[in-house]
Structure 1
Amino acid sequence: MPYVTTKDGTEIYYKDWGDKKGPVVLFSHGWPLNSDNWENQMFFLANHGCRVVAHDRRGHGRSSPAWDGHDMDTWSDDLLTLVEHLDLKDMVMVGHSTGGGEVARFIGRHGTSRVSKAVLVSAVPPIMIKTDTNPEGLPKEVFDGFREAMTKDRAQFFLDVPSGPFFGFNRPNAETSQGLIWSWWQQGMVASFKAAYESIKVFSETDFREDLKKANIPVLVLHGDDDQVVPIGASAHNTVKLLPKGTLKVYPGAPHALPNICAGQVNQDLLEFLRS
């Protein structure tokens, strides 16, 4: 399996599919998942002539179960190591949920010399937690509850999340997919406990407002207006105001898991944005 080693010795697993001479699309996954969650989009774009690359964040999937480095700066540095290893240029960066934060921090920390466009899907920026400067955010007690539930019984918590708000399966008349639930559970359970636990603080408390202001490239923001995990009012609506060249597309009635529940539409939107 392909790996790249970071400066602290962490091995980062990655997939590199499609036409190596095609347009480059780099994917960043959400919590507590891995690159497998992007396979629908990767398969689709690779079959449309793209080179698609996705990694498992440190402590997730097939990457090293690192004890340290679970913060946005380290994650963006890990991603830069991969980008430089593959010498990716003129790439479109795509991030879902926590991965959207990773994309924002990569741009804010490492610039856009290798990035032509970006897509933030159900993404956590600008900042999730409620603060004096972010009164629309979610109370810290929400994320304390996540940590408590995970410490008490991670296996059950990682069934409850996909069975309910993540895919929107808790909504009346929702068409439930047991396969998606178990796929989420499997991806979550192979993440190291420490990485998954510490990532809750990272995705909820990291402030991306200055990163978004530095994104001097076209950025497409995709978000469902029934997102129960990252509510659109405190995320996408505020994100697009901070982006110099941002465009928001709202998916009516859609949940947090746009790459899964709305895979066909997301695929088309990515392809159109890539070709625009």
Structure 2
Amino acid sequence: MTTIKVKDGTEIFFKEWGTGQPIVFHHGWPLSGDDWDTQMMYFSAKGFRVIAHDRRGHGRSSPASSGNDMDTYAADVAAVTAHLGLRDAIHIGHSTGGGEAIRYVAKYGSGGHVAKAVLIGAIPPRLSRSATNPNGVPPEAIDGIRAGTAANRADFYNGFATGPFYGFNRAGAKVLPAVSENWMRQAMVGDIKAQYDCITAFADTDFTADLQSIDQPVLILHGEDDQICPIDTTGRMAVKLLKNGSIKTYPGYPHGMATIHADVLNPDILAFIRS
């Protein structure tokens, strides 16, 4: 198992293979780098070096009772990329991983470290409702995620995975039980305290300044039926804050579209990288 130890002693797991321009994948909550398996196989076959880590307290990284915030997540990524000597990298983030990727690019992406970024169903600029974000997700919905995670995360997570995450709760949806089971496999390996603390990180972090500071091209891909990160709250707001941003939306696609519609999204990402 490949890990590095970051400044506070936390062990961060990562996997990587291939040669060529590096692509770094940032996973969503409460999953692991395994959520990118399909993309890692696809892009390595296209001649890229692919890297995916498990966020602290998630997957195979060590439990973390502290540092469960976006600044520390980004610093952990910086430690991995420095260890691997990555330059001219593409950073691709889904959901919470999109916030992590944007914070990383804003803080560490200058000097040739980052070429481009892709956000898929991502949380920026801010997910939760606030005085400056009146169209955000209501606080009672965020509190419901906290309560469900703390009380019985297995049952709560199962409802996520078999329902809104992949749009399996929609009438006429093609339900894929193995996909939900794989979601649960990843989620239940993680540390509950770290996952619980991450809720505040993904809900309440404001990425406005990060988005505004980034010079590199950023592509936003967002499902129009995303029930987790509603497109009008996130993707359509984020693109307005970017200097060099573009957005592509997908009618009817859910939050987990990178998994169940990889055959569509992967070529779109490849075209952006090669453009």
TM-score bracket for the superposition, by shorter chain length: over 0.9
TM-score if structure 1 supplies the norm length? 0.98
Deviations 1:102-153 (A, max 9, x none): 0111122223320010000000000011111111101111010111111221
**C-alpha contact 1:3 1:12 (8 A) present in aligned 2:** yes
In structure 1, the residue matched to 2:261 is 262
2-structure distance, mates of 1:32, 1:8: 22
Q: How does 1:115-264 map to 2 (within 5 A)?
A: 115-264=114-263
In structure 2, the residue matched to 1:45 is 43
Identity between Structure 1 and Structure 2 (%): 47
Q: 1:111 aligns with which of 109, 112, 119?
A: 109
Q: Cα offset for 1:269?
A: 1.2
2-structure distance, mates of 1:33, 1:112: 28
Q: Cα offset for 1:156?
A: 0.4
Q: Which amino acid aligns with 1:5?
A: K
**C-alpha contact 1:107 1:214 (8 A) present in aligned 2:** no
Deviations 1:152-177 (A, max 9, x none): 21110010001110000000010001
Uncovered stretches (5+) of structure 1, i.e. residues with no partner:
none
Q: 2:67 aligns with which of 60, 69, 72?
A: 69
**C-alpha contact 1:217 1:245 (8 A) present in aligned 2:** yes
Q: Which amino acid aligns with 2:249?
A: V
Q: Cα offset for 1:246?
A: 0.3
In structure 2, the residue matched to 1:36 is 34
In structure 2, the residue matched to 1:3 is 3
Q: How does 1:92-111 map to 2 (within 5 A)?
A: 92-111=90-109
In structure 1, the residue matched to 2:22 is 24
Q: Which amino acid aligns with 2:226?
A: D
2-structure distance, mates of 1:46, 1:111: 22
Q: Which amino acid aligns with 1:36?
A: D
What is the RMSD of the two structures over their aligned residues, measured on CA atoms?
0.8
Three-state SS of the structure 2 residue aligned to 1:234 is coil
2-structure distance, mates of 1:144, 1:8: 29
2-structure distance, mates of 1:23, 1:105: 21
Q: Cα offset for 1:202?
A: 0.7
Q: How many residues align?
A: 274
TM-score if structure 2 supplies the norm length? 0.98
